[in-house]
Chain A
Amino acid sequence: MMANILEIDNLRVSFPTDDGEVHAVDNLSLSLSAGETVAIVGESGSGKTVTSLSVMGLHNPNSTSLSGHIKVHDGEKVVDVVTASREDVRLLRGRVVSMIFQDPMSSLHPYYKIGNQLAEAYLVHNKGKKAEAKKRVVEMLDLVGIPEPLKRANEYPHQFSGGMRQRVMIAMALMNTPKILIADEPTTALDVTVQAQILTLLKDLQKEFHMGILLITHDLGVVAQVADRVSVMYAGNIVERGTADDIFYRPMAPYTVGLLNSVPKITIGKRERLPSIQGQPPSLINLPTGCAFAPRCDYKASAPAGACDESLPLLIGANDNHVSRCHIAEANRATLFAHAGRE
């Protein structure tokens, strides 16, 4: 096992809204080591984006309350994003931890040339080194597969296609060779063919820079392609964590099973309905005591009577590398979930 470069311990994130306090992330623990890809999977509102923004320190500092630890390893130093000063966290951003976003069309400033935007990312952590910045811009644009980088650096974002812009975003994120790259739905807004190219590019760059990638996505296809380990989130909690193989071939949480079954299969009949998880995810404002997934769970009957409504099951497992939350005895789950979807 390699040394961790990011450790999240018991992270809780909540912020007030007009309707009440939203508990977006509850007791989340996660680790990431160099060269590894960890995926966080979940549907909209499960807290995966909030988690990633917290790691970057990009939450609203005035309203959001954080507790727990987000330890980022910066060389010999360890910075806890939760307790560190805003200035210290800022100095991590773009240098140790970088992020690429879902929508490359709106993530670049429309008024500045690509080259200047990239150079800015370098210069903010390397004061005054303009000549190096220029060189680095061309080098990085070339590295992410943008043809004629010297010429393209002088163009504006609107002159680039969606896929090219995501490449530019990746180049910008990697200007200072960060240790950690957070990719928040990096391919969601792109065409399927471009998606594959971007994922391949991320994989290649990961090898080259030996960085850890925290991949936020709801797309199990993407997870299957690139993730080493997977955390499945539901209603602000991790409901299952394991290797990609564990999650896809030996799912242990009913929610994971539901997700896998919802993946459309090429063998589906013409008039068959696509399978889905019934119901809606719960509001994060007044979470019920008990398992948040219980109201939608197909396997509730198999659990001990009343247990699902009484308490949130613990995140445990026979082996520490594959843990899940469910009141049904682990031994019984293997047979119950045996029919779960395979890629």
Chain B
Amino acid sequence: MIGFISRRLGFSILTLLVVTFAVYVIFAVLPFDPAALTCGQHCNATIVHANRIRLGYDKPLWDQFWLFLRGIFMGRTYGTGAGAFTCPAPSFGFSFNQNTCVSTLLAQAFPITISLAVGALILWLIMGVSLGILAARNKGKFLDTASSVFVLLGISLPVFVTGLFLLIWISLKWHIIPIQLQGYVSLFANPFKFGEYFILPWITLAFAFAALYTRFTRSSILETSGEDYIRTARAKGLPEKIVLRKHTFRAALAPIVTMASLDFASLIGGAILTESIFNLPGLGNLTLQSIYEFDLNVVVATTIIAAAVVIVMNLIVDLLYAVLDPRVRA
């Protein structure tokens, strides 16, 4: 088991390093002069040149990448003397558009994205998995058909339709939940405000995913139900609810865990559409805004973070799998 974990861990770190390098190189070879992008309205050659040296863009690519990597762990100081400024570790560079360290921007956006993703994940798992179980248990009957209508709606309605629909009806017409103009409040500071702030985005995201998970859970359970070992469980004389809970569901769970972890990872990279509709200042919105403004350091950082989350979640899935399935541990 320890061998398995260290092997997977080593492999993940290597993957992360390669991805980081690839992302860095892609943005470095873009036909923009990163120094020119830093210098605002009253620009002249002297300022550009000074910025180029201050930000290290005059160095060879390899050195730049090394400084970037080093900055992530050690922090990074730009320039010398009075004009010098430092981005503490983990430093992902400096955003001239926002005139602040990229890590500061990330630190502001991250809690929002995490709150959105975790809340939506919980909601869609509860909805999707329980509906899927219901549908599987009532295969071919009314509940199954009803759930497939839900699935069809969830899959065919894009997030920007459900999101806007919720905003217009729940917030504007019925005034059930006021439109959230004031900023984000932490869960620990005010759980009620926090819930009010996120409830519509959660529902929007969860609706689309819950539909997929209903379908997925249903087919996973039905497939497992046909397994020989489920027949064995019945042959022992186990009551039907224990056959379902302990035998069928346990085996049907593994693929659901995998899928949920990977979907969760992609959400942390930024639920761009949902964040835009509800104007949530999360990672998705930050990425989008930075792309519009050619704020390359921020785009590099969010891309690498998105990749890192996917890699880490993959690692977690593998470890979870080893916990769930004894065959993997060998």
Contact = CB atoms under 8 A, between A and B. Distances in A.
Contact of A121 (B228, B236, B239, B326): B236
A103 B228 contact: yes
B227 interface: yes
Given A111-B251, A111-B324, A94 B235 contact: yes
A108 B231 CA distance: 10
A92 interface: yes
B232 A101 contact: yes
Name which of B237, B239, B324, B330 has the most chain A CB atoms within 10 A of its CB.
B237
Contact of B235 (A58, A125, A158): A58
A111 B329 CA distance: 11
Given A111-B326, A156-B327, A158-B330, A106 B229 contact: yes
A109 B235 contact: no
Contact of A124 (B228, B232, B236, B251): B236
Contacts of B247: 109
Contacts, number: 69
Nearest to A62: B140
A111 B232 contact: no
A110 interface: yes
Interface residues of B, number: 21
Contact of B234 (A58, A106, A120, A158): A58
Given A109-B251, A111-B250, A101 B228 contact: yes
Contacts of B229: 106-110
A93 interface: yes
A198 B233 CA distance: 22
A99 B227 CA distance: 16
A199 B229 CA distance: 22
Interface in A108-148: 108-111, 113, 120-121, 124-125
Interface in B24-66: none
A170 interface: no
B236 A109 contact: no
B236 A107 contact: no
B238 interface: yes
Contacts of A109: 229, 232-233, 247, 250-251
A172 B236 CA distance: 8
Given A101-B231, A106-B229, A94 B236 contact: yes
B302 to A, nearest CB: 38
B223 interface: no
Nearest to A156: B326
B251 to A, nearest CB: 6
B19 to A, nearest CB: 33
Contact of B325 (A56, A58, A110, A120): A110
Contact of A107 (B232, B251, B325, B326): B232
Given A106-B228, A111-B325, A92 B235 contact: no
Contacts of B330: 158
B169 to A, nearest CB: 41
B22 to A, nearest CB: 38
B252 to A, nearest CB: 11
Nearest to A159: B330
A25 to B, nearest CB: 19
Contacts of A78: none
B237 A99 contact: no
Contacts of A106: 227-229
A99 to B, nearest CB: 5
A107 B233 CA distance: 9
Contact of A90 (B227, B232, B239): B239
B237 to A, nearest CB: 4
A108 B232 contact: yes
26 contacts: A56-B235, A90-B237, A93-B236, A94-B237, A95-B237, A98-B235, A101-B235, A106-B227, A108-B229, A108-B232, A109-B229, A109-B232, A109-B247, A110-B229, A110-B251, A111-B250, A111-B324, A113-B326, A121-B237, A124-B236, A124-B238, A124-B239, A124-B242, A158-B330, A169-B232, A172-B236
Report the 9 A-B pairs with minimum CB-CB distance, sorted nearest first.
A94-B237, A93-B237, A106-B228, A94-B236, A156-B326, A121-B236, A109-B229, A107-B228, A99-B235
Given A58-B235, A93-B236, 8 more contacts: A56-B235, A101-B228, A106-B227, A109-B247, A110-B229, A110-B251, A111-B251, A156-B326
